[in-house]
Amino acid sequence: MKIAIASDHAGFLYKGRIVELLRAAGHEVVDFGTDSTDSVDYPRFIRPAAEAVARGECARGIVLGGSGNGEAMAANRVRGVRCALCWDTTSARLARQHNDANMLSLGERMLSWEEARSIVETWLETPFEGGRHVARIRQLDERSPEETP
């Protein structure tokens, strides 16, 4: 699977470890930065990763920051992205099963490496259930009346 990845400075260390984990599992990784722990503005890196997922250039995406909150918000501004901020394997599993999350957000300052690794593995391995959840996903992707051109 082709996976987009991006972080700010506070998620940089786990980003590198996740890239290694993904490549070792046979995934292709597109790294949208950042490239160090120097302070940066996360939207500059997160938005291009989310846009690559929304365009279908990458099947999924993973974004990281200190808490993961801002990164999830930035990714979810892109139409077609369903980015879930996950804090354990249960939230990761449900994000895929029920919400068909195509992006995952993690907070490096909130999780041990082992927790982060387990969340990523669970999120990657869990399929979307479909069924009753499909209509809800469609509703997420619908334009609101004020957005209609």
**For position 34, which CATH number holds?**
3.40.1400.10
Q: Among the options 20, 28, 51, 71, which is catalytic?
A: 71
- pLDDT value, residue 149: 57
- pLDDT value, residue 129: 82
8: left (phi over 0), alpha (psi -120 to 50) or beta: beta
* Banded pLDDT at 148 (limits 50, 70, 90): low
Tally the domains of the chain. Answer: 1
Q: What angle do CA 115, 121, 122 make, to 5 degrees?
A: 85
Domain that holds residue 65: 2-147
Q: Among the options 27, 98, 115, 133, which is catalytic?
A: 98
- pLDDT value, residue 143: 66
**pLDDT tens per residue, range 76-103:** 999 999 999 999 999 999 999 999 999 9
**pLDDT tens per residue, range 13-72:** 999 999 999 999 999 999 999 999 999 999 999 999 999 999 999 999 999 999 999 999
Look up 133 and say whether it is catalytic.
Answer: no
**pLDDT tens per residue, range 100-144:** 999 999 999 999 999 999 999 999 999 998 788 898 888 887 765
Look up 147 and say whether it is catalytic.
Answer: no
CA distances from 48 to 5, 23, 42, 122 (A): 10, 21, 11, 24
